[in-house]
Chains A and B, each alone.
Chain A
Amino acid sequence: MPSSPNSVRSTHPRRLLLLCVAWLLAGSALAEDEKPEAPVILSTGTASLMVEGRQAANVAYSITPGGPRFALWPIAAVLGVEVRIGPLGDSHTLVFEDRHIIVGPAQASMVTVAPDGRGERKITPLDGAPIRVAGGLMVTLELLERALSDALNYQFAWNPDQQALTVARPELRRLRGSVSLVHQYQVSLVEIRFSEEPRYRVEQSPGALDIRLIGDRLELPIQIPRAGDPLVENIIVAPEGLRLELADNAVAEKPRLLTGPVTRMVIEVFEGRASSEAPGPSPRRVQERAPGIRTIALDPGHGGAETGAIGPAGSAEASLTLLVARALKLQLERRLPVKVVMTRTENVEVTHETRSAISNQNRADLFISLHFNSSFGPQAHGAETYFLSREASDQRAAEVAATENRAAGGETNPEQDLQMILWDLAQSYHLAESQRFANLVQEELNLALGLRDRGVKQAPFRVLMGAKMPAVLVELGFLSNPAEETKLQTPAYRAELVDALVRAVSRFKTQVEARDVVPSDADADSVGTGAAEDPS
């Protein structure tokens, strides 16, 4: 199923070649909008490389109009970083355990890739390009910092008076943390809070996921949630990081870090499914959700006794949303290579929790809740598209409510409250994407129907909170407006709304999939991050 643990090591030469090709490609792509730097060397000299207060080596440097440049080789050697030189002698690859950084002469950028060359290729623009001299590559201070600070937590300082390049490693930070774990809507959610933003890397292997801190340590003890989760069997905490031990049928998604007033890392753990149910063509796609929009969850708002808005002519929101959802499912599946799941197919009451669970369980890539609006008075008209507001993630507030309300005799379920809080946080990772999609939906609706632009809005809508994917709620018109109600009762008018929604989904799908293009390695889409070394 996943790649064998030693595949990374055994294929070095081929991989290295691929990396060099990747770097050359990246370079040529960038070259168009960046004028190649003609390096004017004003003077040269030899600087002392000071590491933790002691002179560790001499380093050649050149002063150029863009600042000093230093010989890369001796610095890397002193710091224990392996440098591999490409077959043409140009590309230099700095080899770290979790990443390879490729730089080269006259390229004002560096390329970061996973050690196996798979996955995302990150291109970081630099102020100045390295210069190739007889002794190797001369690089800027910026490049040293960008390449080595992130990976090894080194900090560089150049003192021109003393001709000293100082390398310091700040003391290990001690991070406090806490861990919580909930299982809801078919997904287990691990939330790790940190006192400061951690530097970390993730190692994923069958049955476990490790979060290893880089240059930081966790302050113990940390309270671990009690066992009993169906997907996460155990959480082990050590000063160096955390390990999640997963059940046989569980797969974890890549942890995501949310910074803000509180720094949190959230890891979603899903139930691994039989390959026949997999949305994509490849049954091997198990470990990480491959990018793309393949499965769409349509949520016809309201249902059953919960009618939603009622128009003056008697149209019920709950029935209209179902009609539109059915038509939209048909059109989406006919016109796009997608699968559509519906949160309800009949006019029955369905809780928000169930709607979320259906969408999550089917691992939908997009969630669309369909509604029709009403307001006070008959005037209001037009379409509105909503995504979740951040206010809904106000954790402390909800905690207070849960406690105080219980104390005051109100009827709440504290366990449920806690779960909702955590789920809101998880949804907040998708807000940017949700907003992007909401913009497209609103644009298409306005364009198609000449509707008044009430714009894209945010609200703490409950049905959006449990969605583990980009999620929007679309209000397709006001039933409280008699003229609009009449139009909405017409199938032809609804078909135009459906068309607009299909176009919005299609555009979003194209955007997402264009952005997430991976290097054209034949099996690049198989098992995600690929760093399959056993951490222990």
Chain B
Amino acid sequence: MSRQTVLIAITLTAVLVAVVTIVSCEREVEPGEGSEPIEETATEGEEELEALDLTPADLYFPSAGGWLRAERREVPSSEAVAEGIVAVVEALLAGPGVAETPASGLYAPLPEGVTVRRVYLAERTAFLDLQSPEGAPPPPSGSRQEILTVYSVVNTVLLNFEEVEQLVLLWNGRQPRTFAGHLDTMRPLSANTDLIARAP
């Protein structure tokens, strides 16, 4: 809980800094040469953000339309891939940002209270162990919801960390056969970009 509060605080700060930077730079943009200065802006912005140890990441949230939609967010960066994954998944579990996309129709993939227990890597496979309060099983659901839940997490990890090709999901330290009775989670999962909504 406290971790999430810190995270939100960091995120908001980062966004604020970014917005201020962009706004101040945009004023300097001369009409007619749009693209160049904006690139510079981005660089300046990154420099600012690096000072805060934040890095952009795409979080793939389930949407009401039955797709996954990416939300670009700034999350704490880390040299170690496993730590980076923890940060990104914690941001995902915290749910979509209301400030950026009001009434976005996006959902947190798992119920409140689910946290990251541990992440470890074996070559190019990441093992992500999720933990539920009081050891509750993964939430029951239909297959579409289960697919969106699982690939929300899988895509968010694999599409943000090119060092990792596959993800094994664990739940309270065990590898479940399925989350909700449909999708096989006994094997490493690859990203599924077909589930990502194309239009904004």
Contacts and interface: CB of A to CB of B under 8 A. Distances in A.
A465 interface: yes
Contact of B140 (A309, A391, A404, A460): A309
B140 A405 contact: no
Interface string A393-412: 01001101100110110111
Given A352-B177, A376-B107, A379-B65, A308 B142 contact: yes
Interface of B: 62-66, 105, 107, 120, 122-123, 125, 127, 140-145, 147-148, 166, 168, 170, 173-175, 177-178, 180-184, 186-188, 190
B141 to A, nearest CB: 5
B142 A397 contact: no
Contact of B188 (A371, A397, A420, A461): A397
A392 B143 contact: no
Nearest to B127: A408
B190 A407 contact: no
Contact of A405 (B142, B145, B147, B168): B168
A372 interface: yes
A459 B145 contact: no
A307 interface: yes
Nearest to A349: B181
Nearest to A478: B142
A473 B168 CA distance: 24
Nearest to A421: B187
A374 B178 contact: no
B122 A392 contact: no
B182 A463 contact: yes
Given A317-B142, A408-B122, A397 B181 contact: no
A299 to B, nearest CB: 11
Given A308-B181, A404-B127, A373 B186 contact: no
23 contacts: A309-B142, A309-B145, A373-B142, A373-B145, A374-B141, A376-B66, A379-B64, A380-B66, A394-B187, A401-B166, A401-B186, A404-B122, A404-B127, A405-B168, A460-B183, A461-B182, A462-B177, A462-B178, A463-B182, A465-B184, A473-B182, A478-B142, A478-B144
A333 B169 CA distance: 42
B131 to A, nearest CB: 14
B175 A405 contact: yes
B123 A400 contact: yes
A371 B122 contact: no
Interface in A177-216: none
Contacts of B125: 400-401, 404
B184 A410 contact: no
Contacts of B65: 377, 379-380
Contacts of A479: 142
Contact of A462 (B122, B184, B188): B184
Q: For the complex, would chain B's binding face be called helix, strand, loop or mixed by DSSP majority? A: loop
A501 to B, nearest CB: 17
B48 to A, nearest CB: 35
A479 B143 CA distance: 11
A377 B105 contact: yes
Contacts, number: 139
Nearest to B140: A307
Contacts of A372: 142
Interface string A363-380: 000000001111111111
Nearest to B122: A404
B105 A460 contact: no
A301 interface: yes
Contacts of A459: 143, 147, 182-183
Interface residues of A, number: 48
Interface string A440-464: 0000000000000000000111110
B82 to A, nearest CB: 12
A360 interface: no
B187 to A, nearest CB: 4
A375 B66 contact: yes
Counting chain A CB atoms within 10 Å of each CB, the highest count among B123, B144, B145, B147 belongs to B144
Nearest to A401: B188
Nearest to B124: A400
Contacts of A386: 143
B64 A391 contact: no
B55 to A, nearest CB: 26
A461 B144 contact: no
Contacts of B147: 459
Counting chain B CB atoms within 10 Å of each CB, the highest count among A309, A375, A404 belongs to A375
A371 B184 contact: no
Contacts of B127: 404-405, 408, 410
A386 B142 CA distance: 13
Contacts of A240: none
A465 to B, nearest CB: 7
Contacts of B66: 375-376, 379-380
B178 A410 contact: no
A433 interface: no
B142 A374 contact: yes
A394 to B, nearest CB: 7
Given A404-B127, A473-B182, 12 more contacts: A309-B145, A373-B143, A374-B141, A374-B144, A375-B148, A376-B64, A397-B166, A411-B173, A420-B186, A461-B143, A461-B184, A478-B142
B88 to A, nearest CB: 20
